[in-house]
Structures are given as C-alpha cells and as structure tokens.
Amino acid sequence: MTEIVFQLLGGIGLFLMGMVLLTDGLKAFAGDALRAALGRFTGTPANALVSGALVTLMV
C-alpha cells in the first residue's frame, strides 16, 4: 500500500516539475516578437481557435 502512495506522489511531483519547467521555458521564449505573432495569428475568433488548437497539439 505504501508503495502505491509513493508512486502516486512521485508521479504528481514529476508532473508538477514538468509544468514548472514548461512555464519557465515559455516565459523565456516570450518577447515582443511573440507578442506580435500572437496578435497576427489571433486577429479573428476563428484564427484564435485554430491557433490555440495547434499550439495545444504541439505542447
């Protein structure tokens, strides 16, 4: 039983660590060029939907 709990806690820890690393990477990547690109790709609701879906698939 304790082995299952430790595996569960380890999995949650790895997941959270991955989320922190992903957040840090996106913050480092963000800048004026990214802001301009986002404005260009999300000009209309349809473009925003497609762009969001594609970025979600890549991540």
Q: In angstroms, rounded to a whole number, what is the distance separating the alpha carbons of residues 52 and 32?
A: 19
Percent of the chain clearing pLDDT 70 (strictly above): 100
Q: In angstroms, rounded to a whole number, what is the distance separating the alpha carbons of residues 17 and 21?
A: 6
Classify the phi-psi angles of 33: left when phi > 0, otherwise alpha if psi is within -120 to 50, otherwise beta.
alpha
User: Full-prediction pTM beyond 0.85?
Assistant: no
- For residues 38-49, give the mean pLDDT: 85
Q: In angstroms, rounded to a whole number, what is the distance separating the alpha carbons of residues 52 and 48?
A: 6
The pLDDT, as a whole number, for residue 14 is 96
The one-letter code for the residue type at 36 is A
pLDDT digits (tens, 9 = 90+) for 1-10: 889 999 999 9
The pLDDT, as a whole number, for residue 33 is 76
